[in-house]
């Protein structure tokens, strides 16, 4: 079973990743907008991609892998061009949702996160 983790905000993300050890398992990270009171993200593209990501994650991700959900903040926080997620060389985000393989080139951005074939390839591709 995939190990799932949840982190909210840039400072929490940096602290989490600093001490995180995946024990050799694949580390995939999804950057998404904060959830509203209704449980859905303020980001429409994130909401649209969520079921596709979950299906691919459950069907294709290795059991010893890690999947980290990262909340990049509310809409004004994300839209700030000085948002640290945008400037960090490890994340370099320009759009959400974005999914990356930590410290590897695999990356899906925006509409790509709602494409089942790309998600299957993303999760089944070895480093």
Question: 105 vs 41, 60, 78, 122, 125, CA distance in Å?
Answer: 26, 18, 23, 11, 11
Pair 31, 91: CB distance under 8 Å? yes
Q: Is a pLDDT exceeding 60 seen at residue 68? A: yes
Domain region containing 75: 3-18+25-104+111-123
Instruction: Identify the CATH number of the domain in which residue 62 sits.
Output: 3.40.30.10
- Split into its structural domains, the chain has a count of 1
Q: Would you please indicate which residues are annotated as catalytic (active-site) residues?
A: 43, 46
Pairwise pLDDT comparison (19 vs 53), residue with the higher score = 53
Structure tokens at 100: 């990356």
Give the predicted TM-score (pTM) of the model.
0.93
Q: What is the pLDDT of residue 127?
A: 54
39-67 pLDDT, tens digit per residue, is 999 999 999 999 999 999 999 888 889 99
78-126 pLDDT, tens digit per residue, is 999 999 999 999 999 999 999 999 988 999 999 999 999 999 999 887 6
């Amino acid at each position: 079973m995939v190990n799932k983790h949840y982190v909210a905000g840039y400072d929490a993300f940096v602290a989490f990743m600093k001490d995180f050890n995946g024990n050799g398992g694949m580390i995939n990270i999804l950057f998404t907008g904060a959830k509203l009171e209704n449980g859905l993200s303020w980001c429409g593209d994130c909401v649209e991609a969520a079921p596709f990501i979950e299906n691919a994650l459950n069907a294709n991700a290795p059991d010893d892998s890690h999947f980290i959900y990262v909340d990049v903040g509310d809409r004004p926080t994300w839209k700030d061009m000085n948002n640290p997620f945008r400037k960090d060389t490890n994340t370099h985000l320009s759009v959400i949702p974005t999914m990356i393989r930590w410290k590897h080139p695999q990356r899906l951005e925006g509409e790509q996160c709602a494409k089942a074939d790309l998600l299957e390839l993303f999760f089944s591709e070895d480093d």
